[in-house]
Structure 1
Amino acid sequence: MTVKAILELKGHDVVTLGPNEKLSEAIKVLAEKRIGAIVITNGDRKIVGILSERDIVRAIAQAGSMALEHSVRDAMTAKVKICNAHHTVNEVMEIMTTGRFRHLPVEQNGMLDGIISIGDVVKRRIEDVEREASDIRAYIATA
């Protein structure tokens, strides 16, 4: 299964914020949307960073409650790993495992096209394994 297939099922919607928003606003959006990361764009869907719960924890650990008044730019991860529609689930799992992160923006032609979470990847991988097991059982039953 590819990233393209996952996005066809889940959609291409991504929660984004600008880099000049306050960290307190980003936290409110994360809580309201019940998500773990926000892709940071300049309004043109060009990815300039990603802000995860871990980034927020680090910012608060360094600056205390004053961090809430800082801009997202101060806390975000600017060097964002991305994937594209042609990556496989196994390739995305490798990228996430190696980088130790749970969200991977999907880019197409230099612009944000979606986001894949570790939950999306695990769900699809489990479906693949279940389908393979079912195929094997069916093959054995007919042999």
Structure 2
Amino acid sequence: MVTVRDLLRIKGGEVWSVSPQTTMIDALQQLAKKDVGALMVTSDGRMVGIVSERDFVRSIAKTGQCLLHSTVEHYMVREIISITPGHTIEQCMQIMTEKRIRHLPVIENDQLIGVISIGDVVRELISNKQLTIDQLEDYIHGRPYTG
């Protein structure tokens, strides 16, 4: 089974973060520039929340107000659901589905070492399924195993 550690080796452990005092316009610009859907919110070296495009849009829909110059702390999710490098991608998919979230921070020894998105998980699951299909086709057609 593929673990989060394996996935981070493939995709890298780069983490994009902002402080709670960052304005939403700055956070949204960083999301667009980095082409990511969420930013980790950190303060004094520790994670205090997550802010995503989705959080911002939902807040606007609920309040009817678009306050681009308000700070991230007004929009961030404070209840952080995280994983460890030992989690499997199947476990990540289950957590994301049950909790209806798209990003999971990866924590090891109280340190944020990466972020796994739903896209990362789906890509890896598809890749694994394709490998299984290829191996079965080779077996059916009597081709030697090359893996």
Q: Same fold (TM over 0.5)?
A: yes
Q: What is the DSSP-based 3-state SS (H/G/I as helix, E as strand, rest coil) of the residue aligned with 1:51?
A: strand
Residue 96 (1) aligns with residue 96 (2): yes
Which runs of 5 or more structure 1 residues have no equivalent in the other structure? none
What RMSD over aligned residues (CA atoms) do the two structures have, in Å? 1.5
Cross-structure match for 1:76 = 76
Structure 2: tracts of 5 or more residues without a match: none
In structure 2, what is the equivalent of residue 27 of structure 1?
28
Q: In structure 2, what is the equivalent of residue 111 of structure 1?
A: 111
Please give the alpha-carbon distance, in whole angstroms, between the structure 2 residues aligned to 1:50 and 1:123: 23
4+ aligned runs moved over 4 Å, structure 1: none
State the identity as a percent.
38
Instruction: Output the CA distance in 2 between the equivalents of 1:58 and 1:130.
Output: 36
Q: TM-score, normalised by structure 2?
A: 0.89
Q: What code does the residue aligned with 1:11 have?
A: G
The TM-score, its normalising length taken from structure 1, stands at: 0.92
Q: Distance in 2 between matches of 1:133 and 1:30?
A: 36
Deviations 1:47-80 (A, max 9, x none): 1100011111123231513x21221111100001
Contact 1:60 1:68 in 2 (8 A): no
Q: How many equivalent residue pairs?
A: 141
Matched letter for residue 97 of structure 2:
T
